[in-house]
Amino acid sequence: MNTIEISRSRAEYAQNRPQMLDTTFVLFFLAMEFGRGLDRFSLDAALMLTTLATVAVLPFYLIADGERPSILSWIGGRSVIAGLGVLVGVAFGRAVGVMIPDSLRFFPMTLLILAAMICCLNQFYGLLRIRPAK
């Protein structure tokens, strides 16, 4: 009978994968909100830029050591996601009132809050999940 064996590092990587996906969505929607409000640079935009950089870099340190990519490839990939989010946000901000109804002006923030709530719930589930004793 054939059996499938999964190494411990692969199992840990599979557990960390949703965490990376969650923070990627939060990063994208945060960048989209930053891009939407980019027409006026203020203290609020500077704080959001700091938060954007933090959300881009800090999840790297939550990955298990066995499957951690290089920091340069991590930051490069996250920068591409953040840049794409900023471009979509700028396009969305320019289209509000012209092609998109003005009532949807804060839609990127709504998506950001929803993604952050799902990410938070996923993190709490990972912490509180019952694990068998070894």
pLDDT of residue 28: 95
Cβ(36)–Cβ(89) below 8 Å: yes
Tokens of 15: 């557990």
Q: How far apart are CA 112 and CA 28, in angstroms?
A: 8
Spatial separation of the C-alpha atoms in residues 36 and 27, rounded to whole Å: 14
- Residue ranges per domain, the chain? 11-126
At 49-89, the pLDDT tens digits run 999 999 999 888 877 667 788 889 999 999 999 999 999 99
- pTM of structure: 0.77
State mean pLDDT over 84-110. 92
pLDDT of residue 20: 74
Look at residue 1 and tell me whether its pLDDT is greater than 60. Answer: no
Confidence of residue 3 (pLDDT cuts 50, 70, 90): low
Give the per-residue pLDDT at 2. Answer: 57
Give the number of C-alpha atoms closer than 13 A to the C-alpha of residue 9, restricted to the C-beta side.
4
Q: Which helix (H) or strand (E) holds 107?
A: helix 107-128
In sequence order, what are the residues at sequence separation of 6 or more whose Cβ sits closer than 8 angstroms to the Cβ of residue 38? 45, 86, 89, 90, 93
Model confidence pLDDT, tens digit, residues 111-126: 999 999 998 888 788 7
CA dihedral 87, 91, 96, 99 (to 10 degrees): -150
pLDDT in tens, 6-49: 555 545 544 545 557 888 999 999 999 999 888 777 888 889 89
